[in-house]
Amino acid sequence: MNFANMMQQAQKMQKKLQDAQADLSAMEIGGEAGNGAVKVVCNGQGKFKSIKLAPEAINPENPSAVDQDTLEMLEELIAQAMNQATEKAAEKSEAAMKNITGGIKIPGLF
């Protein structure tokens, strides 16, 4: 195999990795707990996107006592905390990979 052919193969692989990353980023994958009282959505890369809380998750004995503003505030606070944790985890992962690869960026690893 000659060098030009190897470069073409590498470019094709890089394009496939970029396409796969874009597809994963666009996915929406949901999970729920408490018979649907708490629902979360992540993308295919595991990045947190949203959370929805039902009044029953806050006050199971009297869900009607929970107002919408309280639910939205809690959803926003939880979303901010989840995004902050996700960002910190990504930074640590990238730093660990840089130590392993010597700073060489390998597509698809980070």
> What's the alpha-carbon Rg for the chain, to the nearest Å?
21
Q: Find, among 44, 2, 1, the residue nearest to 23 by Cα.
A: 44
Q: What stretches of the chain adopt beta strand conformation (E)?
A: 29-33, 38-42, 48-53
Specify the pLDDT at position 108. Answer: 58
pLDDT classification of 2: cutoffs 50, 70, 90: confident
Q: Find, among 10, 4, 17, the residue nearest to 109 by Cα.
A: 17
Tell me the whole-structure pTM to 2 decimals: 0.71
Give me 34's structure tokens.
């408490």
Residue 104 has pLDDT above 80, yes or no: no
Residue 78 has pLDDT above 60, yes or no: yes
Residue 60 has pLDDT above 90, yes or no: yes
Residue 61 has pLDDT above 70, yes or no: yes
Which residue segments constitute the domains of the chain, with CATH numbers given? 23-101 (3.30.1310)
Contact between 78 and 85 (Cβ < 8 Å):
no
Specify the pLDDT at position 7. Answer: 87
